[in-house]
Structure 1
Amino acid sequence: MDPYEAEAGKIPPTDLYYDLPLYGRYNPSPQDFKPLEEYCNSNTQEALQYWTEVLEKCDSTCYVYQNPFGGRDVFALGSIIIKSCHLGTRDAGSESSRDYSTADKNEVAAIQLVPNTVPVPRIFFSGKLKGKDAIVQERIPGVALNVAWPYLSPAQKDSFKEQTQKMMAELSTVQPPSTVLEPTYIMPDPNPIVNRDISSSESAILFSDRSERGSRKLNFMHNDLQPSNIIVRNDQIVGIVDWEHAGWFHWDDVGAVHSRFRTPRREDFAGIQLSEEELNDLEYWGDLYAFEPSDSSMCFK
C-alpha cells in the first residue's frame, strides 16, 4: 500500500489503524471546516464564544484519541485539531489532576522559537473554554510516521531518520536566553511529573544534579520525537507536532529519555517470538540522538 495514502476508503482492514480513521491521516477536502481568521489567536469575548461553538461541534465522532486515564482527549474537525476534555470527566485516572495550561503555554512559546526550516502547525487558540484548558491547532495534511512505517522501505526509513536529525540539528542552533542557566521547559514548570505526565525517572534524567552540568550546552529540543509526532508526505517530513515537552536541555539527557521512554526496546518483547529483523525495526528509532549536532562530520543530504 502507498504509505502516504490518507483517504479512509482506501485503507485496508489489515491496517493497524483501520478502526481509527481520524488518527494519523489527513487528506483535506474543500468541504472541511476551516477556522475564521478574525478569531485566530484572539481572546476577545466574541472569539471565546466562537471557539466555544467550535468546541461543541467536537462530539464522539471526531475522536482522534480518547484518553482512558481521566485526561484530555484529541479531536479532529476538518482542518483543525482540538485538545480538550469537554466530553469526559476528570474525576478519576492518573491524569485527572493534570494542569494542561502549563503544557499549552509551552507549546505556543516553543513553536514561536522554531526556525522556519522546521515545519510546525499553526496555533489558532489556547486558553479556557467552558472552564477547561483547550488548544486548537492546524491539522497538517499527511500521514503520521508511525502510521506510514509498516509500508516504508528501509531506504525511506533511513531518509526520514536523516531528515529528523537534520531538523534536530537546526533546532539546536537556537540560543537560550541569557537568564536560562539550567535545564528547563520553555515555560518553567514547578511540577512536571503531574503537569507533563512524566515519570520521576524521566524527571531525574532531565533535571537532577544540575550543579554538575554547567559546562554542557543547553539545546533547544523538541524532547518527544516519537514517530507519531512526525507528519510525512511524499517522502518528506511536512510537520513536527506536539511541542509541550520542548525546552532547553542537554543533548545526551534527552537522548537517554528518548531511548528509555519514547521508543520500544527489545527486552519489552522478550515474551514474544519476533525475528531479529523485527526486533531491529522496533529499535530503529532508539538511536535518533546518536550524533552531536555540532559535529561537522555528520553529513545530511
Structure 2
Amino acid sequence: MSSRLKDRMRQDRRQALFGNSPPPPRQPAPYPEGEIIYRCNDRYIVRHGDSITKYTTNPDGMGANDHPNEELALRFVKAHTTIPVPEVISSDWDRITMEYVEGQTLQQAWPMLTPDQRSDILAQLSDYIAQMRALGGIYLGRLDGQGVVVPCIMTRSGGPFGTLVELHDWLVQPPKRLQIQSMYWHQITAQLSTEYPIVFTHGDIASRNIIVRDGRIVALLDWEFAGWYPEYWEYVFALRGMDNVDWETLGRYLPSLFTKRYDLEYILMRLILTLY
C-alpha cells in the first residue's frame, strides 16, 4: 500500500472519529515495558507484574479528552453496580493502567465448562446486563461526554445527541450514502422508535471480553465505548459481534440474557452498517 493511500486512510478515520475537532498534538510518555499479551494495529496491552497497561501509539490517543472514557466507565461501574471490573491504577490521554485479573476469556474456557458452570455464567451475565440497563441517561454519547461510537471497519463517532431522532438521522448519513436513496434510508429509520429509553451500555459484550475463573465471571473488560445509548444498542452490537466471532460460544444464548428481544432493530442496524 502506498504511503499516500495510507495517509488518506488515516485522515478518513480521523474525520470519522473527530469530525472537524480533532485532539491537539500531544507528546506520549515512554511506553511501559513488559510482556505484550495483546496487539492489534496501534493498540497494545502490556503486563508488568500484577498490572497491565493498555495503550495506543495513535497520535490521537484514546480520544479527545485528557483521560480515556474507559477509565471513567470502570470507576462508574464499580460505584453503581456489582459487575466485576479491574481496579484502575492510573491513566493518561493515550493509556490506562489497571490491575491484572487472572483467568481465561469465556471464549477460551467455554469448551471445558460443565453445563452447570455455563448456566451460572449466563445467569451472572444476565444480571450484569440488567444492572446496566437500570441506569438511565439524559443524552446519547459516551460517559465522558464524547459522541456515540459505531464500531465497524471504519469506526465512526457522532454527537453527543439530545434525542433519538438526531441519532437515527446521523446513523444514515455517512459518506457512502447517495442522496437519491434518502427515502430508502428514511423508511429504515422510521421503523426505529423515537421512544426507546436511554440506558447505560457496555457497547462491546463478547466472550473475548469476559474473564472467568473457577466457573465464575471475575471481570468484564473493554469499556472503551461505554456510555448512554438507546436500549436496543447492547443487544444489536453484542449479537453482531457474536455472529462474527463466536456464535457457538455465547452468541446463540445471547437473546435469552435480555428481558426483551430487539430483532427488528438488529436487522435494521445491520442494513445501516452496510453504509460504512
Partner residue in 2 for 1:186:
143
What is the CA-CA distance between 1:218 and the residue it aligns to? 0.8
What is the CA-CA distance between 1:167 and the residue it aligns to? 0.8
How large is the RMSD of aligned CA atoms in angstroms? 3.5
Judged with a 3 Å threshold, the aligned counterparts in structure 2 of structure 1 residues 136 and 169 are, in CA distance, closer, same or farther, namely same
Q: Note the alpha carbon deviations across 1:182-205, whole angstroms, 9 max, x for none.
A: x21112335846xxx634698799
Quick one: percent identity of the two aligned structures? 23
Distance 2:102 2:250 in 1: 26
Distance 1:102 1:250 in 2: 23
Q: Note the alpha carbon deviations across 1:137-186, whole angstroms, 9 max, x for none.
A: 1111222212211211333222211210101111222232xxx23x2111
The one-letter amino acid of 1:165's match is S
Q: Secondary structure at the match of 2:92?
A: strand
Partner residue in 1 for 2:111:
150
Partner residue in 1 for 2:199:
219
Distance 1:192 1:279 in 2: 23
From 63, 76, 97, the equivalent of 1:101 is 63
Distance 1:187 1:252 in 2: 21
Partner residue in 2 for 1:241:
221
Which residues in structure 2 correspond to 1:157-196 (within 5 Å)? 157-176=118-137, 180-181=138-139, 183-190=140-147, 192=149
Which residues in structure 2 correspond to 1:28-177 (within 5 Å)? 55-58=31-34, 62-67=35-40, 69=41, 71-85=42-56, 96=58, 99-102=61-64, 105-114=68-77, 115-128=80-93, 133-176=94-137
The one-letter amino acid of 2:86's match is P
- Count the aligned residue pairs: 205
Distance 1:123 1:253 in 2: 26
The one-letter amino acid of 1:74's match is I
Judged with a 3 Å threshold, the aligned counterparts in structure 2 of structure 1 residues 247 and 157 are, in CA distance, closer, same or farther, namely same
Distance 1:154 1:232 in 2: 15
Q: Note the alpha carbon deviations across 1:195-243, whole angstroms, 9 max, x for none.
A: xx63469879994248965422111111111112112122221111111
Q: Secondary structure at the match of 2:89?
A: strand
Are 1:252 and 1:289, in contact at CA under 8 Å, matched by a contact in 2? no
Distance 2:118 2:156 in 1: 27
Are 2:32 and 2:46, in contact at CA under 8 Å, matched by a contact in 1? no
Q: Secondary structure at the match of 2:46?
A: strand
Distance 1:148 1:220 in 2: 28
Q: Note the alpha carbon deviations across 1:101-122, whole angstroms, 9 max, x for none.
A: 3585211221222224111111
Judged with a 3 Å threshold, the aligned counterparts in structure 2 of structure 1 residues 136 and 189 are, in CA distance, closer, same or farther, namely same
Distance 1:155 1:64 in 2: 30
Q: Secondary structure at the match of 2:123?
A: helix
Are 2:149 and 2:155, in contact at CA under 8 Å, matched by a contact in 1? no
Are 2:69 and 2:226, in contact at CA under 8 Å, matched by a contact in 1? yes
The one-letter amino acid of 1:263's match is M
Distance 1:259 1:122 in 2: 28
Q: Note the alpha carbon deviations across 1:236-272, whole angstroms, 9 max, x for none.
A: 2111111111111122232112212x1135xx9xxxx
Are 1:255 and 1:288, in contact at CA under 8 Å, matched by a contact in 2? no
Judged with a 3 Å threshold, the aligned counterparts in structure 2 of structure 1 residues 285 and 238 are, in CA distance, closer, same or farther, namely same
Q: Secondary structure at the match of 1:84?
A: strand
Judged with a 3 Å threshold, the aligned counterparts in structure 2 of structure 1 residues 192 and 225 are, in CA distance, closer, same or farther, namely closer
Distance 1:209 1:289 in 2: 29
Segments of structure 2 that go 5 or more residues without pairing to the other structure are: 1-28, 159-163, 171-188, 262-276
